Structure 1
Amino acid sequence: MTVANQLSNRTGVVIAVLAAATLAYGAQPDSVRLGDEALQKHALQKLVADLRAEQKLVGLAATVMADGEVVAAAADGERKLGSGVPVEVGDRWHLGSITKSITATMIARLVERGDLDWQSTVGQTLGEEGVHVDWRGVTLSQLLTHTAGAPANFSLAVRIQRPAEGRPTVDARRQAVLGVLVKPPLTPPGEAFRYSNVGFTIAGAMAEAATGESWEDLVRREVFEPLGLEHAGFGPPKSRAPEFLQPRGHVTRLGFKVAVADTADNTPIMGPAGTACMTLEELCRYGNEHLRGQRGEGKLFTAASYQRLHTPVLDNYGCGWVVTQRDGKVVSCWHNGSNTMWYAYLTFDLESNLVVAVAANDGDIPAAEKAAVRIAAAASDIVDVKKAGAGQAD
């Protein structure tokens, strides 16, 4: 099995778990072994609680979907450290770079409508004025598979900007993108994998240029609304004192966990790379749409488009998904994300028909990642426990 390790500063993603099927991860520690009677009774809740405590996370939540139905959901910890307000299974969570697959999904809708083509180029869509000649032929497909040669992140001058949603963000996004395109790509397009928030932002700007609509409005119309993701949005969920109706993100400073403001996030300019949020039940429904779409049963577009999104190009990466294949066939897809204040993880497995979503309101990425992979590993056993206990009282 291969392990990719592509952590960049504030990238919103950590490609640092097994690129092989995470549902086949190794044995659980004794504290959460699936043979325990208590775990058989409340399998996911115990697992989430144990892992949150073990990894010292502020809050941790998970949802498991099988055959399109939620079979287990659990949450443990606090919405804000020291508040005494518990996280709940219906809370909203910042998704970080899981947003990349959402951007690719929206663009697939535009491609099928004829607004864009997978081979649409930067020069054709954004114009050639001021754009380096080596960028002009870079395709939408290359941008969505991290093979365009784009830098990982924008300059600090861009990252500190906070334009308002709508035309201010559209204009600022275009200017930020054009500021990158004046210089040549860092590697020849199509020849190397370079994980890049900038690349997905360029793709988002191309969608805006092709339609005259903002990336945010396009995602709402093409992804959130058709899938009924009513609580989905952009940026961290709003969570004001004293009620703390939603979780707050947290960072570690001088060895102590500290809550951040409920507005703290990456710049909205790089929204196409990592600013979506939603509940974990909604995230599972989104993942299940991709699972079904791979089989030709999706509702957003044709099987060919889903399969294109799930086909790896370099380093097991498709369009916003890390892909596991066996004998040339897709077995599972996953992605994770963090804006350094939150963590989220989504995987779907075609063999077990499972979708697993995990999130933490904690920027301790290594700890949250360990918890997420263990939960994904245990998901099939949790489903078996739930099925075995069907019709019995707790």
Structure 2
Amino acid sequence: MKALSFLIVPLVLSSINCFASEANPITQIDKLLKRHVDEKRKSANLAGLGAIVIQDSKIIGLSVSGERKKGDGVLVSQKDLWHIGSITKSFTATMIARLIEKGDLKWDTSIKDVFPDEKNIHSEWNDVTLGNLLAHTSGATRNFSLLVSLKNPNAGSERMAARESAVRNILSQRPEATPGGTFVYSNVGYTIAGVIAENKAGASWENLIRKEVFSPLGIKSGGFGAPKDIEGKLSQPWGHKKLFGFTKSGKDDNTPIIGPAGTIHLSLNDLALYADEHLQGIQGRSSFLKRESFQRLHHPNLNSYAYGWVIGPPEELGVGTAHWHNGSNTMWYALLVILPDINAAIAITSNDGNFKVAEYSAWEIVKRLAKPLEIAHKKSMSSGAVKSAGY
């Protein structure tokens, strides 16, 4: 594993042409990012917006704009925590890959391997594997019932029991789609995968994420649920969503039962640290997991979905393949994009659940940074070639 170094040297940027002509264009990206984050946040009327850019394992841009709670005047900060929604899925798949390398699980561990004598499980679930669950081809329905979504069990054994009970209820019924042959994006499927990990490792999903992902990567800000606001003093951002034409702010989140599908929060710096480890892993330069594990995590299956990653952007960026995922709990939005061909990654977060607007703004920022990052990468590669040749 490799720690990120911090490099931000803001300079004035007048145009992409000027950017391309600079001897060291990478130093321009922070200024470019600041402009786009502020412009997009204002034009989209989002409560808050943040973004971070890494290239060559360096943070070369970090910017935030807006308020922790809309209308209260307390500004978001670069150290704030952000709910990342379904980006959590890649964390769950990464944790499972760690357990597989330890021998606790296998990619083809099946439902019947975990519950071999359970008579209440429908037979069509028996051969569904972890790989099916992580690729959304298990046949599981998209979401749990309203009754499950209203539950808020305490962390630890109570939450583990509630999670397994919700999963067993799903498994007692016929899968919604034919397992293995149909793509159905499913928070339920990832929760089942989380329960399998809990069952085999003897620890809660939350503790497994702490032990297998947060701790070894040095992620110190990681937690679960909406970021805690100490004593209601706006020490952290609140989430926002539109309700009957009005903006509602609060600290609500989805039920922790679906934690494996989408309840992690962390800082932009730590999200960049996580992204960089996957970037290095894709390129075979990480010791966090074996190369074949990273290849499995990032290999596309049906609908271009890997294990917690979509391979290929919704729009052509012109800088090679993109590995990405977004997420929202209806009050927050986040997007994480890895660009292996230019050795870069971009994370964008918002405490505003106006999904379509936040999503559009996030991808616009990515599109505007893609070419400058490609220019910076080419300059870096050219400079590296000159140095290696001894000139």
CA contact (8 A) 2:30 2:60 kept: no
- The code of the aligned residue for 2:110 comes to T
Unaligned runs of 5+ in 2: 1-13, 20-27, 378-391
TM-score, normalised to structure 2's length? 0.86
Shift in CA distance, 36/85, structure 1 to aligned 2, threshold 3 Å: farther
- In the TM superposition, residue 256 of structure 1 has moved relative to its aligned partner by 2.1
State the SS of the aligned residue for 1:73: strand
* Aligned equivalent of 1:79: 68
CA contact (8 A) 1:126 1:206 kept: no
* Aligned equivalent of 2:274: 286
- In the TM superposition, residue 324 of structure 1 has moved relative to its aligned partner by 2.6
Establish whether residue 63 from structure 1 lines up as the match of residue 32 from structure 2. no
Establish whether residue 303 from structure 1 lines up as the match of residue 291 from structure 2. yes
What is the CA–CA distance in structure 1 between the aligned matches of 2:266 and 2:30, rounded to whole Å? 28
State the SS of the aligned residue for 1:168: helix
* Aligned equivalent of 1:6: none
Shift in CA distance, 48/241, structure 1 to aligned 2, threshold 3 Å: farther
* Aligned equivalent of 1:93: 82
Establish whether residue 270 from structure 1 lines up as the match of residue 261 from structure 2. no
Shift in CA distance, 362/33, structure 1 to aligned 2, threshold 3 Å: farther
Shift in CA distance, 192/242, structure 1 to aligned 2, threshold 3 Å: closer
Shift in CA distance, 34/52, structure 1 to aligned 2, threshold 3 Å: farther
CA contact (8 A) 1:34 1:43 kept: no
The equivalent position to 2:342 in structure 1, one of 352, 371, 383, is 352
Structure 1 or 2: more helix by fraction? 2
Deviation readout 1:253-280 (Å, 9 max, x if unpaired): 22222211x2x10100000000001111
Deviation readout 1:274-317 (Å, 9 max, x if unpaired): 00011111111111111111111112210000000100110000
- In the TM superposition, residue 385 of structure 1 has moved relative to its aligned partner by 9.2
State the SS of the aligned residue for 1:64: strand
- In the TM superposition, residue 42 of structure 1 has moved relative to its aligned partner by 2.3
State the SS of the aligned residue for 2:312: strand
Establish whether residue 139 from structure 1 lines up as the match of residue 139 from structure 2. no
TM-score, normalised to structure 1's length? 0.85
39-48 vs 352-361, which deviates more?
A: 39-48
* Aligned equivalent of 1:116: 105
42-51 vs 312-321, which deviates more?
A: 42-51
What is the CA–CA distance in structure 2 between the aligned matches of 1:266 and 1:157, rounded to whole Å? 12
CA contact (8 A) 1:126 1:209 kept: no
What is the CA–CA distance in structure 2 between the aligned matches of 1:167 and 1:87, rounded to whole Å? 35
Superposition RMSD in Å: 2.3
What is the CA–CA distance in structure 2 between the aligned matches of 1:179 and 1:130, rounded to whole Å? 9
What is the CA–CA distance in structure 2 between the aligned matches of 1:122 and 1:352, rounded to whole Å? 40
Shift in CA distance, 72/162, structure 1 to aligned 2, threshold 3 Å: same
- The code of the aligned residue for 2:228 comes to K
Shift in CA distance, 129/91, structure 1 to aligned 2, threshold 3 Å: same
CA contact (8 A) 1:43 1:382 kept: no
The equivalent position to 2:364 in structure 1, one of 353, 374, 384, is 374
* Aligned equivalent of 1:248: 238
Q: Which has the larger radius of gyration?
A: 2
Q: Which runs of 4+ in 1 moved over 3 A?
A: 32-37, 240-243, 380-387
Percentage identity across paired residues of the two chains: 43
Deviation readout 1:164-204 (Å, 9 max, x if unpaired): 00001100000000000011111111101000000000000
Shift in CA distance, 195/384, structure 1 to aligned 2, threshold 3 Å: closer
The equivalent position to 2:93 in structure 1, one of 87, 95, 104, is 104
315-324 vs 126-135, which deviates more?
A: 126-135
* Aligned equivalent of 1:318: 306
- The code of the aligned residue for 2:113 comes to Q
Unaligned runs of 5+ in 1: 1-31, 388-394
Deviation readout 1:61-115 (Å, 9 max, x if unpaired): 0000011110011011000011111011211100100000000000000011110
- In the TM superposition, residue 57 of structure 1 has moved relative to its aligned partner by 0.4
What is the CA–CA distance in structure 1 between the aligned matches of 2:30 and 2:62, rounded to whole Å? 13
What is the CA–CA distance in structure 1 between the aligned matches of 2:376 and 2:178, rounded to whole Å? 51
What is the CA–CA distance in structure 1 between the aligned matches of 2:259 and 2:29, rounded to whole Å? 41
State the SS of the aligned residue for 1:226: helix
